[in-house]
Amino acid sequence: MSLSQKKVEEGNECCRQAEKYLKTGLLKWKPEYELAAGEYEKAGTAFRIAKSFEQSHDSFLKAADCHKNARSWFHAAKCYEQIIMVLKDTNNLPKIEEYANRACHLYQQHGSPQSGSAALDKAAKIVEGEHPDIALRFYQHALEVVLIDDSINQGGEYATKISRLTVKLGLFDQATDAIRREIGINQQTESYQQIGRLAVALVLVQLARGDTVAAEKAFKEWGNCCDPQEVQTLEMLLQAFDDEDPEAAAQALNSPFIKHMDVEYARLARDLPLPRGISVAPKPKAVADNPTTSFDDSRPDEGVGGGVAADEDNEEGGLC
């Protein structure tokens, strides 16, 4: 018998034992939910080792239900996290969102919001590569959870991830709100250097939205937190957009500190549409390069013909 078959048999035996704990009779009025949950968890682990993922999913789900019936919210949430790992093994990533939110809710109900936000963070890292939109919702949910608990430092980390993901997804309207919220959190921790970098990011996002007025307002509002090099670069960039000078704008966007910003912002600066510039009508060509040339020289044939006719008239008058 192979290892997989042994684990499947072991899982089935654990399930049978769990069902016995749930049965009631004349001398047993209440199901033994905690004991049944333990057996279902063992079964789920055995099925997962045997790569019988559907049975593993069902076993952990039954274990979570048993824990909830016993009002053991923390352990029920742990079972949902195990289901998330099973879904990861089967690459059923969109389904993770349901169980991650369930786990977070149970952790909050238990009084452990930090565990809830951590579960959302783990789930976000699993799906971010293929489903960044789902990861964004996880980070937004996690931020709300930690801010309820006044965990400012942890909230700053999630706010940073939200800002970067919205820029990566091209959701520039959401990105402006996310960056402003991140600036507000950094104000509470007095991280002024970080605020300066975020001011640069906010200007870039506003320019990506095509709103130069909002970009200038962002610079005026937060520019006092920027380093001198950042101030000089932003002034040059905004002036270039105001003058519609694509060469000056490209020079400002090639600034070393912009290239060394977070990857999402560096890419945004690289792909930022430059101003098209003011189209100037071509100057009319001069009438004559030589100022001594008469205006009639522009029509040489007519001028030559006219001169010949005049000479002939003079000759005829002289003969008469």
Report DSSP letters for the chain, one per residue.
--HHHHHHHHHHHHHHHHHHHH---SS--S--HHHHHHHHHHHHHHHHHTT-HHHHHHHHHHHHHHHHHTT-HHHHHHHHHHHHHHHHHTT-GGGHHHHHHHHHHHHHHHT-HHHHHHHHHHHHHHHTTT-HHHHHHHHHHHHHHHHHTT-HHHHHHHHHHHHHHHHHTT-HHHHHHHHHHHHHHHHHTT-HHHHHHHHHHHHHHHHHTT-HHHHHHHHHHHGGGS-HHHHHHHHHHHHHHHHT-HHHHHHHHT-HHHHTS-HHHHHHHHHPPPP-----PPPPPPS-SSTTS-GGGGSHHHHHHHHHHHHHHHHHHHH-
The answer, yes or no, to whether residue 293 has pLDDT greater than 80, is: no
Q: Over the chain, what is the mean pLDDT?
A: 86
pLDDT of residue 56: 95
Domain assignment of residue 7, yes or no: yes
Q: How many domains does the chain have?
A: 2
- Is pTM beyond 0.95? Reply is no
Least confident residue range of 7-11, 193-197, 227-231, 299-303: 299-303
Q: Are residues 18 and 56 in the same domain?
A: yes
Q: What percent of the chain has pLDDT over 90?
A: 71
Domain assignment of residue 61, yes or no: yes
Q: In terms of Cα–Cα distance, which of 185, 222, 178 is closest to 200?
A: 222
pLDDT of residue 100: 97
pLDDT of residue 162: 97
The answer, yes or no, to whether residue 261 has pLDDT greater than 80, is: yes
How many Å apart are CA 171 and CA 157, to the nearest integer? Answer: 19
How many Å apart are CA 71 and CA 169, to the nearest integer? Answer: 40
Least confident residue range of 45-54, 104-113, 151-160: 151-160
Q: Are 163 and 178 in contact (CB under 8 A)?
A: yes
Domain assignment of residue 275, yes or no: no
The answer, yes or no, to whether residue 232 has pLDDT greater than 80, is: yes
Q: What is the mean pLDDT of residues 262-286?
A: 74
**Helix, strand, coil shares, percent, the chain, to 5:** 75, 0, 25
Domain assignment of residue 96, yes or no: yes
Q: What is the mean pLDDT of residues 221-245?
A: 91
The answer, yes or no, to whether residue 139 has pLDDT greater than 70, is: yes
The answer, yes or no, to whether residue 280 has pLDDT greater than 80, is: no
pLDDT of residue 301: 46
**DSSP letter assigned to residue 91:** T
Least confident residue range of 24-28, 166-170, 228-232: 24-28
How many Å apart are CA 67 and CA 37, to the nearest integer? Answer: 6
The answer, yes or no, to whether residue 286 has pLDDT greater than 60, is: no
* Domain C-terminal end among 154, 175, 199: 154
Among all chains, which residue has been given the structure tokens 């890419």?
A: 267
Q: In terms of Cα–Cα distance, which of 63, 130, 70, 68 is closest to 96?
A: 130
- Domain that includes residue 138, residue range: 91-154
* Domain C-terminal end among 15, 43, 71: 71
* Domain C-terminal end among 154, 174, 203: 154
pLDDT of residue 310: 42
Q: Are residues 63 and 97 in the same domain?
A: no
Domain assignment of residue 265, yes or no: no
Domain assignment of residue 79, yes or no: no
pLDDT of residue 236: 93
Domain assignment of residue 49, yes or no: yes
More confident call, 303 vs 117 = 117
The answer, yes or no, to whether residue 153 has pLDDT greater than 50, is: yes
Q: What is the mean pLDDT of residues 281-310?
A: 44
Q: Are residues 2 and 67 in the same domain?
A: yes
Q: Are residues 59 and 3 in the same domain?
A: yes
pLDDT of residue 29: 83
pLDDT confidence of 277, banded at 50, 70, 90? low
